[in-house]
Each structure stands twice: as structure tokens, then as C-alpha cells.
Amino acid sequence: MRLKHYTARSMQEGLRLIQKDLGDDAVMLSSKSVVLPDGTKGVEITAAVEKFTPAGNPDRSKKGPLSADEYKAGSRYIAPESVEEKLLTHGITGKVARKISQAIKALEGSGFETEDALEMILGKLINFQIPSKVLTNGRPVVLIGSTGAGKTTTIAKLAVSKVSAKRSIGLITMDNFKIGAKEQIKIFADALQVESRAVKTPQELAKEVAHYKAKQKDYILIDSAGLNPFSKDRMESLQKMLFALDNPYILLVLPANLNMQELANIPYAFKGMELSGIIFSKMDETHYLGGIVNAAIESQLEVCYATDGQNIPQDILELDPKSLARKLLQDIQLPWENK
């Protein structure tokens, strides 16, 4: 059984797409309201149809769920014990890895392929969010995080993607610590032909956000200084700045290449900031994804984006259950092991 996702303007349109693509045997598994790329409301439907190609090529006209033997004969089948081993290798906690493998085992009789089963389970355990729902028009989006997390580069990627989509943006930097931070944002803004502002106080921040709102900017993107999350003074200073904003969407930029314990601890260190979600940065700098899975499950913050390189704007992606499941099931191959 293979899962497919369909986006449409209405349920009726979505069902027509499913029937045309998958035929009368398709089964609708779930649906939810979404915001379409053009800003209008729509629906996302998850559907499935029995699709199986085992080594022995059984009768494809057979109806009903696959037998256990047919299921295990499939080329995409991975034993639950092997899945658990892969998850543990990534660094996912033993408790979570066992829970996932047990859930996959329970789904064996339903005919779901291993990757699809893991996708469904991750979708239940992690609070994935659609980026278009996160970045709503006019709501200030603030990126915060520790030094070197990749906040400014991520702001740049988001800005370019929005300008490319013909959206108006306003940039603000609160970084008064890093040498050249203000100049960096201004140079970038000039290249994009968008406005930018640098602020030092909560009052200045509130004033510039009001300025952008008055000009009806589609997106207000705010960069912040990198800070030590265990420094009380720096955290209190950032908190005062954030309190000046009305209903901000605060995203913690969390490097995927941190050690497992730090990945788990940092969201708690920033808890007083009323975090809305997480962007996992530097996905290309680690082969082990257990830390981000553990952090996402423990924090239950919304997860929408990940970055996997320095290229602007290419190296930013929507992190969803499907892409994460695929990465977790791939064999880890370190570069020097090919030699």
C-alpha cells in the first residue's frame, strides 16, 4: 500500500483528483485544511491504494489486505527489529525507538510499506507544520538561537523565497553584538531591493514593526543576536525585546549537528521566550538525526523548515514526516567509508 498526498481547493476537487489518479480502489485516510501557495484556503487529502510488487509477482487482481508472507516478501519491507536498530544508530532514545518499531509491527497486517508506516508514526509523534500556515501575512517572524546556529543565513533564504514569490517583505535585525551584522542585513536587503532596519531597544523594535505593518508588508522577518542560552542576562535582554511584539511567531534555529544532550536541552533553555516552532539548521553537517527527532518529540514545538547548506535560497526545505522517514531508513554512509 502506498500513500499519496493531494492538495486541492475543495474536498470535491480533491476526491476527483484521487479517483482520476488512483482509481476506484483508492481509500481516503485523512484530510486537513491548509493554506495554498496563493494564500487561499484549501484541503490536503492523504489517500492510499494497494500497490505491491513482491519478488514472486502475486496475483495483482487480488482484493483486500496483503497476507503477512506477501507483505514481508516486498522489496520495500524492513523488519521492525531492523527499523529499531536504524533508529538507535541515529541516536533516537531507546524508549522512542521501541515504541516506533512496535507500532510498525502492529501495522504489518495492514499492507503498509515500512516507509509509509514510519511516516504515519512520525506524523503522530512530531508536531509537523505546513510553512505556509506558519508564515502568515503581516505576523512578525523572529528567528532566535545560539551563536552560529545559522539564523541570518536562514532569514536570507526565507526572504529570497518570498521575494521570488512576488511577496513584499521587511527585514529587521536586533543583532548589536556581531561585528558587521547591521551592514550584512543592509547589503542583503539592498540586493533584494527591500527595506531593512536595525534596532537597539524594544521601543525601536515596536516602532519599526508598526512601520512595516502600516506599509502592509506581507512578511516581517526579524533576525536576532546569537546568544548563550545559559546566560541569564542575555536571555533577559532578548526577552524584553520580544515582549515589545504583538503576537510574534518565534522560531528557534537549532543546529542538527549539536550533540544529542544539547539538542534536547536548548529548547528548554529558550522556553521563557514563548517559542512557536523550530527550524533545524545544518542538516548537511550530520549523518545522525536522532537528536532532532528527540528534540522535536520532547518539545512538541512546531517543526516546519530545515536547512541543509549555505546556498541561498536553495538550501532550505520543508521538513515533513515523509522526508524524515526516508532519511531515517537510509543506511548511514560516511564519506571515508567509500575509500
SS3 of residue 249 by DSSP: strand
For the chain, how many helices (H) and strands (E)? 13, 11
Nearest to 97 by CA among 123, 129, 122: 122
* Burial zone of 99 (CB within 10 Å; 0-12 exposed, 13-18 middle, 19+ buried): middle
Q: What is the pLDDT along the chain (339 residues), one digit of tens a residue?
A: 566 788 888 877 877 788 788 776 666 666 677 778 777 888 888 877 654 433 344 443 444 444 444 444 444 567 888 899 999 999 999 999 999 999 888 877 666 788 888 998 999 999 998 777 767 778 899 999 988 899 999 999 999 888 888 889 999 999 877 767 778 888 888 888 999 999 999 999 999 999 999 999 999 999 998 888 888 888 999 999 999 999 999 999 999 999 888 888 888 888 888 899 999 999 999 999 999 999 999 999 999 899 998 888 788 988 899 999 999 998 877 767 665
Distance CA 35, CA 311 (A): 27
Distance CA 57, CA 74 (A): 9
Distance CA 194, CA 60 (A): 57
**DSSP for residue 27:** E
pLDDT at residue 338, as a whole number: 64
Reading the block at residue 141, the C-alpha cell is: 517572524
205 close to 197: Cβ distance less than 8 angstroms: no
Residue 246: phi and psi, rounded to 5, are -95, 115
pLDDT at residue 66, as a whole number: 45
- pTM here is 0.75
95-143: pLDDT as tens digits: 999 999 998 888 776 667 888 889 989 999 999 987 777 677 788 999 9
